[in-house]
């Protein structure tokens, strides 16, 4: 696994972007870009090759689920691992994310160890 791969984190809450960035840094990932909504994220994804997307679910105007569906329907983007972060742990949300092709799912609040476990499940040990 390449710890220098570009990672895109997407959240409309600036504090959460900072938290996720800091957790990634603790795990050795420094090549991190941010987007504050789904449509900005989609534009970034189309102009740069990302190795991972970590996106919040609840955003306006494009939700994380809508972003995930867009990514999965785009031939150039559909291979990118996509981790959904949400405060929602409802079964129907997890099922909807899985049906849309989510790679992994993290329920807030979470720490660096939880994030690492989710990334290991995606990429293998690092």
The pTM is what? Answer: 0.96
Q: What is the pLDDT along the chain (126 residues), one digit of tens a residue?
A: 899 999 999 999 999 999 999 999 999 999 999 999 999 999 999 999 999 999 999 999 999 999 999 999 999 999 999 999 998 888 899 899 999 999 999 999 999 999 999 999 999 999
Asked if residue 71 is part of any domain, the answer here is yes
- Angle, to 10 degrees, between the axis of helix 14-26 and the axis of helix 112-123? 70
Domain with residue 53: its CATH number is 3.40.50.2300
Domains held by the chain: number: 1
d(CA 2, CA 25) in angstroms, rounded, equals 14
Asked if residue 1 is part of any domain, the answer here is no
Asked if residue 29 is part of any domain, the answer here is yes
The two three-digit tokens of residue 106, written as one number: 């993290």
Asked if residue 2 is part of any domain, the answer here is no
């Amino acid at each position: 696994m390449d710890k220098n791969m570009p990672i895109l984190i997407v959240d409309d809450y600036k504090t959460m972007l900072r938290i996720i960035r800091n957790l990634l840094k603790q795990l050795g990932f420094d090549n991190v870009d941010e987007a504050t909504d789904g449509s900005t994220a989609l534009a970034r994804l189309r102009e740069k090759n990302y190795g991972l997307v970590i996106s919040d679910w609840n955003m306006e105007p494009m939700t994380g689920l809508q972003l995930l569906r867009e990514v999965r329907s785009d031939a150039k983007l559909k291979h990118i691992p996509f981790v959904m972060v949400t405060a929602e742990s409802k079964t129907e949300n997890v099922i909807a994310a899985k049906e849309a092709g989510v790679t992994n799912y993290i329920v807030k609040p979470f720490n660096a160890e939880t994030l690492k476990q989710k990334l290991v499940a995606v990429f293998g040990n690092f």
